Structure 1
Amino acid sequence: MICETMRLVGRTNLKFLVAALACAAVGCSGPYSSPTVSAKNTAVTPRVRVETAKPQTIPEVVTVTGELVAEEHAIVSARIPGRIGEMKVDLGSRVERDDVVALIEPVEYEYRARGAEALVEQTRARLGLKKGGSDDVNPLETASVKQAAAALEEARLNFARISQLHKAGVLSRMEFDKGQATVQQTEARHQEAIEGVLEAQAQLSERRVALAIAKYQLSETFVRAPFRGAVTKRIAAVGEQVTANSPVVSVARLHPVRLRLEVSERYSTRVHMGQRVDVRITGIAPRSGKIVRLSPAIETQNRILAVEAEIPNEDGALRPGSFADGSITVDPNARGLSVPASAVVSFAGVDRIFVVEQDALAERLVKPGRALTDGRVEIVSGLAAGERVVAEANDRLAVGQKVAVFER
């Protein structure tokens, strides 16, 4: 029974095998059959836009990485001792020159100023000066000196009469000596009155100085920004007792900023004052400045030249402490070649461009330079002037491929 079954299965498989071979021989069609491939190739010649590589002005630059630093940085300190009554700014606050950044409690200094002013008015009254008038005074015109001068004049007149009567023998020698002594005493009082006025004038000047100091100290209860900039650090706090020269806030001038660069010694002879510097920082629109400071010597340890450029920063986008790439234009009239950035194909660290030679593609291994304006890139080497460059390359192009060319 088993043997009979195996013979039936064998005959069935043999029938299927014969049918399959017959179908393959005559070219069966059906849902599982392979499509017929035409022997005729209908490939289309691609059209490419080209431009002729021509020498053009591409300024030569030296690019180095540097650090942005504030034009000025100051620790704003209290000039007088006292207690902080109010803080007007905090981290990041923008300030103008003389803006108040903190207040020191002023009560004590107000009392000092009032006391000093009262002493000034007291001295002026002693000199007979009217309130609000000038401090200038003639000692001989003061009341005390006039009184002493009148007494002196009277003593001299009396002594003149005594002298005449003494000569006539009417008055004794004692009366004569007494009159002479009276004149000397009144002269001394007159001189003393003049010196008293001069002393009062000196005292008035001294008290004027004391009043000025008191008013100055009162004005210094307002701690002010030394220049336009931004607060980089808040140091003091409300209620804190500070002494003279205690730091309150830190302020930096943000416009312009300095870009400190270290240029290799081999380029040092080509870097000069006033040269243009283009600055690039990720996320910030490029901007340019110029070299304003050069070190007079090469640093011996690392053989570099220290350079400082001044960069406009009115919007405050450039932050001191950031790293930035600075490109120094060492030759504004240099000539070179450039191509559209879309013409460069980069793969595995190799840069190439396609050129058209006799309607077929050839490739050039190139060394790109820096990115230029209008979406172009400098070609340092690998491309010759006059070659026709494919402006928009893609991965479907291949060396030797025939192309149709058009130019714009």
Structure 2
Amino acid sequence: MQHFYGLLLFILLVFANGCGRAGGTESAAATRRETAVRGVVVRVARAVERPVKRTVNFVGTLYGREEVTIASQVEGQVERIHADLGDVVTEGAVLLEIDDDAWRARLREAEANLAKVRADEERARQLVQENVISPQEYEARKTAAQMAEAQRDLLQVTLRHARVTSPLSAAVARRFVSVGEYVRAGTPLFTLVVLDPLKLRGDVPERFAPDLAPAQPVEVRVDAYPSEIFAGSLARISPASNPQNRSVTVEATVANSGGKLKPGFFANAAIVTKVDNRAVCIPQEAVMSFAGVQRVFVVTAGKAEAREVETGRRLPDGLLEVLRGVNANEIVAISGLSKLDTGVPVEIDGDVEEPGTASAGDL
């Protein structure tokens, strides 16, 4: 009897377990049917047309607009220095003075000699009129007076050169001499550099040469100020390509009124060759990449459609340019991408997001 009741209890337990499993299977199936009816819940955004800059990028080095090394034009001992590294000087400002005592003495001697030969010339002029001396003798004394005058003028110029002045408004990039040092004609004294604007020089691959033109805008970035963009313009384009690296040398002028940029800085630059005012853009989160293929899901009539896309420039406001695969005003999914495939029903969560507008200057 106990054996009979035990067998009966086992049969009841097996039956109850089977009913439970059947109920669970039906519940899962119902969930799948409900999902199929409702679709995958996603957020969506509209593809919009935005102005996008077309650029040619290059790297280069900043240089002073003008860089001048000033050398001594006279010899003598450096007596005073009025400018040093980093100083900004104006055109005509005195930078350095060389001891001029010896030159002043020579000038006084030359002036005395000039007075003497001029007096000789005047006496000779009277004598030749009286036929006391020959015209040749008079011409010789006249020539001597002219030579003495030239010598006086040369010493006056030399004396002025003992005061070394700046030929332009610039900053002192280097000083080569110290007070008390003896210099000769040709000895370097200072290097001056004009800091505003600066020149940026670099190489552009020759395939972009047809896109370049003078006065095109240039956007410059440097590591010292990574969040700032410095404005410039394309000034010069080499007429020849370098056969060693197949590139064309370009030079841009870069505004530097704030003095942040320094000659010698390494810079990344972008030449704006044109602005495409009708570039199709979508939110960056709409693009899914796998194995080198980029896809988006366009939502049409409540279903997803997978499309391969070719993307372009990333914009600062979170948008991504689409060169191929999506048209303006189409709706793309921006969430739940891993659950989507072509033909999968979707349910839109909220309103269609409308990316804001921006001008090309914001890009």
- Normalized against structure 2, the TM-score is what? 0.69
Q: 1:187-336 to 2 correspondence within 5 Å?
A: 187=131, 189-191=132-134, 194-282=135-223, 283=225, 285-333=228-276, 335-336=278-279
Checking the alignment, whether the CA contact within 8 Å between 1:366 and 1:383 is kept in structure 2 is no
Amino acid at match of 2:126: A
Report the CA distance between 1:239 and its aligned residue: 0.8
* Deviation digits for residues 318-340 of structure 1 (CA, Å, limit 9, x no counterpart): 21111112111223346413457
> How far apart, CA to CA, are the structure 2 residues paired with 1:362 and 1:100?
76
Report the CA distance between 1:61 and its aligned residue: 0.9
Q: Which of the numbers 86, 91, 100 marks the counterpart of 1:97? A: 91
Report the CA distance between 1:225 and its aligned residue: 2.4
Identity of aligned residues (%): 26
In the superposition, relative to structure 1, how do residues 205 and 58 fare at CA in structure 2: closer, same or farther (>3 Å)? Answer: same
Instruction: Give the secondary-structure state (helix, strand or coil) at the position aligned to 1:245.
Output: coil
Segments of 5+ residues of structure 2 without an aligned counterpart are 1-40, 341-345, 357-363
Instruction: Give the secondary-structure state (helix, strand or coil) at the position aligned to 1:125.
Output: helix
**How many residue pairs end up in the alignment?**
305
Amino acid at match of 1:95: V
- Normalized against structure 1, the TM-score is what? 0.62
Checking the alignment, whether the CA contact within 8 Å between 1:351 and 1:368 is kept in structure 2 is no
* Deviation digits for residues 128-166 of structure 1 (CA, Å, limit 9, x no counterpart): 49xxxxxxxxx7xx43345xx2xxxxxxxxxxxxxxxxx
Partner of 1:68: 62
Q: Which of the numbers 123, 127, 133 marks the counterpart of 1:144? A: 127
In the superposition, relative to structure 1, how do residues 290 and 242 fare at CA in structure 2: closer, same or farther (>3 Å)? Answer: same
Partner of 1:369: 313
- Give me the CA root mean square deviation: 3.9
Partner of 1:83: 77
Amino acid at match of 2:350: A
Report the CA distance between 1:112 and its aligned residue: 1.6
Instruction: Give the secondary-structure state (helix, strand or coil) at the position aligned to 2:198.
Output: strand
> How far apart, CA to CA, are the structure 2 residues paired with 1:386 and 1:58?
17
Instruction: Give the secondary-structure state (helix, strand or coil) at the position aligned to 2:209.
Output: helix
In the superposition, relative to structure 1, how do residues 332 and 405 fare at CA in structure 2: closer, same or farther (>3 Å)? Answer: closer
Report the CA distance between 1:296 and its aligned residue: 2.3
In the superposition, relative to structure 1, how do residues 95 and 256 fare at CA in structure 2: closer, same or farther (>3 Å)? Answer: same
Checking the alignment, whether the CA contact within 8 Å between 2:46 and 2:282 is kept in structure 1 is no
Checking the alignment, whether the CA contact within 8 Å between 1:265 and 1:298 is kept in structure 2 is yes
In the superposition, relative to structure 1, how do residues 360 and 120 fare at CA in structure 2: closer, same or farther (>3 Å)? Answer: farther
Is residue 2:53 matched to residue 1:59? yes
Report the CA distance between 1:57 and its aligned residue: 3.1
Instruction: Give the secondary-structure state (helix, strand or coil) at the position aligned to 1:404.
Output: coil
Which protein has the bigger strand share?
2
Instruction: Give the secondary-structure state (helix, strand or coil) at the position aligned to 1:255.
Output: coil
Is residue 2:120 matched to residue 1:123? no
> How far apart, CA to CA, are the structure 2 residues paired with 1:63 and 1:320?
20
In the superposition, relative to structure 1, how do residues 197 and 405 fare at CA in structure 2: closer, same or farther (>3 Å)? Answer: same
Checking the alignment, whether the CA contact within 8 Å between 2:45 and 2:331 is kept in structure 1 is yes
Q: 1:6-21 to 2 correspondence within 5 Å?
A: none
Q: Which has the larger radius of gyration?
A: 1
Partner of 1:165: none
Segments of 5+ residues of structure 1 without an aligned counterpart are 1-45, 130-138, 150-186
Partner of 2:13: none
